[in-house]
């Protein structure tokens, strides 16, 4: 595809190093428009902003590169990009690079991946990239050639209908990466620990923290891939229907 | 099941008539604990609160009925219920009754259904109920016998592994309801319209509004069911993997 229109967003916010790294990777691949939250939006899932007004701020406006921040969630950013900023549907949406894993069940809490799903709903090919390192100073160097390769693949071949990609990188040097593995989402859950504190008025409050708990270790899962220094690529979809369960439910007596 | 422990939540907030209606329906079915957001949380999707402290407020504390509000999202409410309020895992989580449809693609933006998915991740049988009427004064009367029937079914038979239920009611009288239909999620999208305004300081801001756009009308979809006065029951899952797409992606050259 010649001169594709590339929409870029994330959930760590407009100034996150992971976003800056992604912008540098795609800047020579086409016309690039960034619309990203002005503040960190990790853990916002597929939230949209309906109770408060949204604002959009133009930061850069060059011929082949534009940059905007908005005060909403990552899903808001995608919607504002498509309906306010862009004159035509983008050829691809890329989200990230997230500081921290979005593999396994993390996909459901992730603002980075919600932006990707939102684009898929709007029939825009889309991919999210995440590095399994939560640090602000994480080293994104090793991601470069794979990010470019995956974007090239999508622009050339498109994606299977109604799917988008969740790509996660192990936090290792490029030389240690064993390659790319197409996987399924591993079963896992977060075991929350609420840290209880007292405010100066002696009222109780809590901080949400937690520990990640794997429930399986199959070689076809994204967690296995990352644990074994592979880059995981999981095709995901916005159809939540558990199709396999429909027959069983048809045997229920709903009128008893 | 004798004296089941029933956890109740929603996304319209602790004072919503839909929640009050659901509480009245389940109060004689077992021991009931309500943990719901203190404020409306529609459109919050699977958001969790990590940047601000969470607070929990005890409102009612009787032997067989307790009620709490929290300042977080519906997913926060489920987590706080399980980790702070309840002494054992609940036998079922019920969410709603939502003011407005959560059929089709609405499931992905819904706080009501995010609470249900969160419970499923934590291996708690769970179901969300929604009425296709956004009004605060919506009439929930017709939902009663079906809500009780579905909860009885779940408590008796359990649910297929890793699935939960998304139940939507058409906004019609009980006599017009044709029955229950097990369905799949219809393809659709919201066509956003951002309403642009100027604040007193002459700065631009936007309100997010939109129109629902159906992309299909198949008789096996939830939207068809609701349009034809059936109650739709869609089994949903938290595995977002597009399993059907894995083979195609395995043909990509990720090292080119």
Total Cβ atoms within 10 A of residue B161: 11
Mutate to test the interface with A, among B13, B41, B46 (most CBs of A within 10 A): B46
What is the mean predicted confidence (pLDDT) over B98-115?
Answer: 97
What is the mean predicted confidence (pLDDT) over A154-160?
Answer: 96
CB-closest option in A150, A240, A253 to B185: A240
Model pLDDT for residues A6-45, shown as the tens digit of each residue: 999 999 999 999 999 999 999 999 999 999 999 999 899 9
A63 to chain B nearest CA, in Å?
A: 24
**Looking at chain B, which residue has its C-alpha nearest residue A221?**
B241
Contact B108 A122 (CB under 8 A): no
- B121 exposure class (CB count in 10 Å sphere: 0-12, 13-18, 19+): buried
Size of interface A-B (CB pairs under 8 A): 242
Model pLDDT for residues A235-249, shown as the tens digit of each residue: 999 999 999 999 999
What percentage of chain A exceeds 70 in pLDDT? 100
Contact B208 A50 (CB under 8 A): yes
Contact B164, B235 (CB under 8 A): yes
Give the Cα separation of B51 and B237 in Å (integer).
Answer: 28
CB-closest option in B42, B55, B208 to A79: B208
Q: Has residue A1 got a pLDDT over 90? A: no
Q: Has residue B256 got a pLDDT over 70? A: no
Give the Cα separation of B90 and A23 in Å (integer).
Answer: 46
Contact B59, B68 (CB under 8 A): yes
What is the mean predicted confidence (pLDDT) over B69-78?
Answer: 97
Contact A40, A71 (CB under 8 A): no
**Helix or strand run (H / E) with residue B80:** helix B74-80
Contact B191, B242 (CB under 8 A): no
Give the Cα separation of A34 and A78 in Å (integer).
Answer: 10
Model pLDDT for residues A161-206, shown as the tens digit of each residue: 999 999 999 999 999 999 999 999 999 999 989 999 999 999 999 9
Domains of chain B: 5-187+217-239 (3.40.1210.10)
Model pLDDT for residues A121-151, shown as the tens digit of each residue: 999 999 999 999 999 899 999 999 999 999 9
Q: Has residue B2 got a pLDDT over 70? A: yes
Model pLDDT for residues B114-129, shown as the tens digit of each residue: 999 999 999 999 999 9
Q: What is the pLDDT of residue B1?
A: 82
Q: What is the pLDDT of residue A217?
A: 86
Q: Is the pTM of this model over 0.90?
A: yes
- Mean of per-residue pLDDT scores for chain A: 96
Give the Cα separation of A79 and A64 in Å (integer).
Answer: 21
Model pLDDT for residues A104-115, shown as the tens digit of each residue: 999 999 999 999
Q: What is the pLDDT of residue B222?
A: 98
Model pLDDT for residues A88-105, shown as the tens digit of each residue: 999 999 999 999 999 999
DSSP conformation class of A118: H
Q: Has residue A256 got a pLDDT over 80? A: no
Contact A45 B160 (CB under 8 A): no
What is the mean predicted confidence (pLDDT) over A76-86?
Answer: 97
Mutate to test the interface with A, among B208, B219, B250, B256 (most CBs of A within 10 A): B208
**Helix or strand run (H / E) with residue B145:** helix B144-157
Q: Has residue B160 got a pLDDT over 80? A: yes
- In sequence order, the 6+-apart residues with CB closer than 8 A to the CB of B234 are A240, A241, B103, B107, B165, B166, B167, B168, B182, B183, B184, B185, B222
Expressed in angstroms, the distance from the first to the final Cα of chain A is 58
Q: CA dist A86 to A54, A117, B219, Å?
A: 17, 19, 36
Residues of B in contact with A77 (CB under 8 A): none
- In sequence order, the 6+-apart residues with CB closer than 8 A to the CB of B200 are none
Contact A152 B256 (CB under 8 A): yes
Q: Has residue B42 got a pLDDT over 90? A: no
Mutate to test the interface with B, among A11, A48, A114 (most CBs of B within 10 A): A48
Give the Cα separation of B245 and A160 in Å (integer).
Answer: 6
Residues of A in contact with B115 (CB under 8 A): none
Backbone angles phi, psi at B177, to 5 degrees: -70, 125
Model pLDDT for residues B233-246, shown as the tens digit of each residue: 999 999 999 999 99
Three-state DSSP at A44 gives coil
What is the mean predicted confidence (pLDDT) over B205-223?
Answer: 94
Size (chain A), residues: 256
CB-closest option in A40, A73, A242 to B235: A242
Give the Cα separation of A197 and A205 in Å (integer).
Answer: 5
């Amino acid at each position: 595809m010649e001169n594709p229109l590339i929409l870029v967003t994330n959930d760590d916010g407009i100034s996150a190093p992971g976003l800056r790294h992604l912008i540098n990777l795609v800047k020579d691949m086409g016309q690039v428009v960034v619309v990203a939250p002005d503040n960190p939006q990790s853990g916002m899932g597929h939230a949209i902003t309906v109770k408060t007004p949204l604002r959009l701020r133009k930061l850069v406006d060059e011929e082949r590169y534009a940059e905007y921040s908005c005060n909403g969630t990552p899903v808001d950013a995608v919607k504002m990009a498509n309906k306010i900023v862009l004159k035509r549907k983008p050829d691809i949406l890329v989200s990230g690079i997230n500081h921290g894993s979005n593999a396994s069940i993390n996909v459901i809490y992730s603002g980075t991946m919600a932006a990707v799903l939102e684009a898929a709903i709007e029939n825009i090919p889309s991919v999210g990239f995440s590095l399994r390192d939560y640090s602000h100073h994480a080293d994104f160097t090793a991601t470069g050639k794979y990010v470019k390769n995956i974007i090239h693949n999508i622009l050339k071949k498109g994606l299977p209908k109604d799917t988008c990609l969740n790509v996660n990188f192990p936090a290792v040097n490029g030389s240690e990466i064993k390659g790319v593995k197409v996987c399924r989402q591993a079963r896992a859950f977060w075991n929350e620990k609420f840290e209880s504190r007292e405010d100066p008025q002696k009222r109780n409050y809590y901080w949400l923290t937690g520990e990640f708990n794997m429930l399986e270790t199959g070689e076809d899962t994204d967690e296995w891939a990352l644990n074994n220094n592979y880059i995981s690529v999981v095709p995901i979809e916005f159809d939540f229907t558990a199709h396999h369960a429909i027959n069983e439910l048809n045997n229920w007596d709903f009128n008893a």
